[in-house]
């Protein structure tokens, strides 16, 4: 369908697709794992996000509003229900509690959003909308809703943007998927994006 290579960004969790960070200092775990990249630990009570099956098949998360940690991050591990370890250089910071962990994507280059997939462990049994928004770096006047669906009775969605109607995103635009997931279904989400060079 698409003539050029595209990137697949994976996310997974068992609660809402977004949550606020705790007002607790970020902790430096140090250089660990086979790649010896630095790891930091974030405190996020009851976040529900899940790590990937391996360090090579990793899941991602997106941090919004942090001074030092905003952006797309690879998840290293989930030590417990209230902490999340990500690959990142360490810089001392104590979140104010207004920063959020999200299922979102951002690039410092222009890109195309090609669509997404979601699979739930069981069909949702609550009427709650899953919404995908494009938040423009230019301001709210340039934001747009790309997709919305009531998840009641839904277990799978595959939504691909028609190739002749691409969703063009300027650099630093954020594609943000939100869903409350009150039933606490385990979900896996893939975003499909293509960089414009």
Do 53 and 80 belong to one domain? Answer: yes
**Nearest residue to 22 via CA among 75, 88, 92, 101:** 101
Asked if 176 and 71 touch (Cβ cutoff 8 Å), the reply is no
Report if pTM > 0.85: yes
Do 93 and 126 belong to one domain? Answer: no
Please give the pLDDT value at position 32.
81
Please give the pLDDT value at position 14.
98
State the CB neighbour count (10 A cutoff) for residue 157.
Answer: 16
Do 42 and 125 belong to one domain? Answer: no
Please give the pLDDT value at position 91.
97
Please give the pLDDT value at position 166.
85
Please list the ranges in the chain whose pLDDT falls under 70: 1-4, 33-35
Do 97 and 115 belong to one domain? Answer: no
Q: Does residue 1 sit within a domain?
A: no
Return d(Cα 43, Cα 20) in angstroms, integer: 10
Cα-Cα end-to-end distance for the chain: 19
Please give the pLDDT value at position 36.
78
State the CB neighbour count (10 A cutoff) for residue 117.
Answer: 16
**Where is the domain boundary, 48, 68, 102?**
102
**Where is the domain boundary, 102, 133, 152?**
102
């Amino acid at each position: 369908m698409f003539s050029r290579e595209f990137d697949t960004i994976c996310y997974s969790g068992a609660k809402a697709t977004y949550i606020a960070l705790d007002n607790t200092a970020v902790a430096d775990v140090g250089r660990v794992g086979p790649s010896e990249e630095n790891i930091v630990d974030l405190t996020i009570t009851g976040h529900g996000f899940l790590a990937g099956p391996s360090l090579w098949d990793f899941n991602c998360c997106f941090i919004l509003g942090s001074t030092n940690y905003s952006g797309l991050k690879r998840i290293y591990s989930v030590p417990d229900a209230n902490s999340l370890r990500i690959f990142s250089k360490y810089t001392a910071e104590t979140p104010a509690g207004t920063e959020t962990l999200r299922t979102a994507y951002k690039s410092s280059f222009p890109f195309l959003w090609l669509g997404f997939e979601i699979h739930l462990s069981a069909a949702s049994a609550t009427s709650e909308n899953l919404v995908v928004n494009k938040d423009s770096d230019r301001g709210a006047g340039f934001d747009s809703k790309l997709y919305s669906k009531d998840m009641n009775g839904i277990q799978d969605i595959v939504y691909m943007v028609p190739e002749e109607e691409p969703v063009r995103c300027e650099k630093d635009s954020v594609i943000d998927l939100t869903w409350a997931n009150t039933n606490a279904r385990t979900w896996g989400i893939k975003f499909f994006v293509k960089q414009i060079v």
